[in-house]
Amino acid sequence: MTAQRLNVTPIDVGYLGVRGAGAAFAVSPGAAADATVLVETGPAVCLANLDAGLRSVRIAPEAIRHVLVTHVHLDHAGAAGHFAARGAHVWVHPRGARHLIDPERLVAVTRAVHGSRFELEYGMPMPIAASQVHAVGDGDRVMEAFDAQAIATPGHAKHHHAWVMRDAVRAHVFTGDVTGILLPQGTAATRFLAVPMPPSDMDAVAWRASIDRLEALVDAEEGGGRTVTLWLTHGGAASNARAHLRELRERLDEEHALCESLCREGLVPDGMPGPAAIDRYSAWLWPRADAAGVRPEDRAAFLGAAFMRMNLAGVAQEIAR
Please, where are the H alpha helices in the chain?
47-56, 74-77, 80-85, 94-101, 104-114, 118-121, 204-223, 241-264, 275-291, 296-303, 305-320
Q: Are 93 and 136 in contact (CB under 8 A)?
A: yes
Looking at the domain assignment, is residue 275 inside a domain? no
Q: Are 136 and 150 in contact (CB under 8 A)?
A: yes
pLDDT for 188: 66
| Percent of the chain whose pLDDT exceeds 90 | 84
pLDDT for 109: 85
Looking at the domain assignment, is residue 220 inside a domain? yes
pLDDT for 219: 98
pLDDT for 3: 62
| pLDDT higher than threshold 70 for residue 252 | yes
Looking at the domain assignment, is residue 234 inside a domain? yes
Q: Pairing relation of β-strands 170-176 and 161-166?
A: antiparallel
pLDDT for 33: 74
Domain extent for 96:
7-243
| Percent of the chain whose pLDDT exceeds 70 | 98
pLDDT band at 29 (very low <50, low <70, confident <90, very high): confident
pLDDT band at 81 (very low <50, low <70, confident <90, very high): very high
Q: Pairing relation of β-strands 236-238 and 227-232?
A: antiparallel
Looking at the domain assignment, is residue 148 inside a domain? yes
State mean pLDDT over 278-288: 98
| pLDDT higher than threshold 70 for residue 302 | yes
Looking at the domain assignment, is residue 135 inside a domain? yes
| pLDDT higher than threshold 90 for residue 10 | yes
pLDDT for 15: 94
| pLDDT higher than threshold 90 for residue 145 | no
Distances (CA, A) of 244 to 84, 178, 212, 230, 316: 34, 12, 13, 9, 27
Looking at the domain assignment, is residue 2 inside a domain? no
Strand partners, 148: 142
Looking at the domain assignment, is residue 282 inside a domain? no
Q: Pairing relation of β-strands 181-182 and 170-176?
A: unpaired
Strand partners, 9: 26
Interval 236-251: pLDDT, tens: 999 899 999 999 999 9
> What are the backbone angles phi and psi of residue 125, rounded to the nearest 5°?
-75, 160
| pLDDT higher than threshold 90 for residue 93 | yes
State mean pLDDT over 207-212: 98
- Full 3-state SS string of 153-197: CCCCCCCCEEEEEECCCEEEEEEECCCCEECCCCCCCCCCEECCC
Looking at the domain assignment, is residue 179 inside a domain? yes
State mean pLDDT over 169-195: 90
Interval 104-135: pLDDT, tens: 999 998 888 778 888 889 999 999 999 999 99
| pLDDT higher than threshold 80 for residue 14 | yes
Interval 230-239: pLDDT, tens: 999 999 999 8
The one-character DSSP state at 79 is T
pLDDT band at 152 (very low <50, low <70, confident <90, very high): very high
Domains: count for the chain: 1
Domain with residue 26: its CATH number is: 3.60.15.10
State mean pLDDT over 212-229: 97
| pLDDT higher than threshold 70 for residue 1 | no
Interval 30-70: pLDDT, tens: 777 788 999 999 999 999 999 999 999 999 999 999 999 99
pLDDT top residue among 189 and 198: 198
